[in-house]
A and B are shown apart, each in its own frame.
Chain A
């Protein structure tokens, strides 16, 4: 029982750490180079700021 709990604890700890790392990287341009496309399109916060709400894409799916 203790062994299983410990393994579960380790798993949750590992998962938590990866989440923290991802959150830390989310605001950065971690792509090495001068590619502005990647700079924006891999940055969630920046896209939320720049993508206009009215740009809903196209119509809905319909056909056969």
Chain B
């Protein structure tokens, strides 16, 4: 997405009538200052006009113990805003859950104060106000009005969704010219589907109730491959499905290479640590043991695609001494369940002759060089020696058929 000039970010092109109310019905009753504050009488003094300006009125604030924003005004979107404030997308319940588990507690509220403050100051700073989806390019992606100042019921896929979900989802979904294994996702490239065909309003807006145990994969409103491809209808459709569907996630066969991350998420020295930057981001494809037995769709599945995530034992050190150590770091894999948005029917795994040639590793029944698509302990030992123990439940060592290792 090309960057916008500063003036362009805040420019509103009026409709031909010259009436702001014709741009969007919200302006029939609301003026700019009703939401943004400032002083509308100061035509010729920028500083005075912007005094007390609220740049993003849809940001949630607490007043007299009550959390609210400008969208939740009386007779407006009160219930939607209340629901959204507790949603997965707004609160990052999944991230909170894993911060808590690595900190050795069962709930985010039990984490050290410095961890909670650090998380709320950094991690949640980009996730995501009502305006970030419905009015402007998200703050964390550079800001700027998406469609003048229209309140868009449906967000803009490029300027809203993938403005934030860029380094992973966007590259996978849109594809990259010239890279053989980055052809984009068939749902986008061929079927012209967008984010909202799978991720609907309910998933984005609805409040999470079990906040300590919910993440994107256990969330009951998340989309599923089987919503459109019922398991019964595809279970015996070909030999691959007959042999493997009960034992693997769909992504093991149908996703292409995807970005893996080792750095960048937290400010401070670790972000630029050369040891981590060396492999960040790196394109890869790895099959490991399913790290998510609680997954809604793949609870009984043995093999899953896994992605490296940027977490080190001292990731939160700069938040304070109480956050410097993650006592249960070694109990949660740093290669986590992945659902790459790079689905194709024919991938390097499925487009093979004979059919097992690009996956199986046994000489004569595959190729030993196929071992590179599996996650082995030796590779972690070599590249991320601090993470060997954490990934014991995910590595395939000792879990492949006889003669494969």
B143 interfacial by beta-carbon distance below 8 Å: yes
Contact (Cβ within 8 A) A32 B142: no
Q: Which residues of A contact B261 (CB under 8 A)?
A: 64
B49 interfacial by beta-carbon distance below 8 Å: yes
In the A-B complex, the 3 residue pairs with the closest CB atoms: A61-B166, A47-B7, A37-B32
Q: Known A36-B49, A61-B1, A61-B166; judge A41-B11 contact (CB<8 A).
A: yes
Segment 33-59 of A: residues with Cβ below 8 Å from B: 34-42, 44, 47-48, 50-53, 55-59
Shortest B313–chain A CB gap in Å is 21
Shortest B250–chain A CB gap in Å is 19
Which residue from B12, B20, B38, B164 sits with its C-beta under 8 Å from A61?
B164
Contact (Cβ within 8 A) A31 B168: no
Give the bracket for the number of chain B residues in contact with chain A.
Answer: 35 or more
Q: Known A44-B7, A61-B162; judge A25-B168 contact (CB<8 A).
A: no
Contact (Cβ within 8 A) A51 B40: no
Shortest A64–chain B CB gap in Å is 4
Mask: chain B, 8-25; 1 = CB below 8 Å from A; 0 = not: 011111100011100000
Q: How many chain-A residues does the 8 Å CB contact rule pick out?
A: 30
A17 interfacial by beta-carbon distance below 8 Å: no
B41 interfacial by beta-carbon distance below 8 Å: yes
Majority-rule SS of B interface residues = loop
Shortest A59–chain B CB gap in Å is 6
Segment 1-58 of B: residues with Cβ below 8 Å from A: 1, 3-7, 9-14, 18-20, 31-33, 36, 38-43, 46, 49
Segment 162-218 of B: residues with Cβ below 8 Å from A: 162-170
Q: Known A36-B41, A37-B38; judge A64-B168 contact (CB<8 A).
A: yes
- Could you show 19 A-B contacts with beta carbons less than 8 Å apart? A30-B14, A31-B14, A35-B40, A36-B39, A36-B43, A37-B31, A37-B33, A39-B43, A40-B46, A48-B7, A50-B7, A52-B6, A56-B142, A57-B9, A57-B144, A59-B141, A62-B166, A63-B165, A64-B167
Contact (Cβ within 8 A) A44 B11: yes
Q: Known A30-B18, A47-B10, A51-B10; judge A60-B43 contact (CB<8 A).
A: no
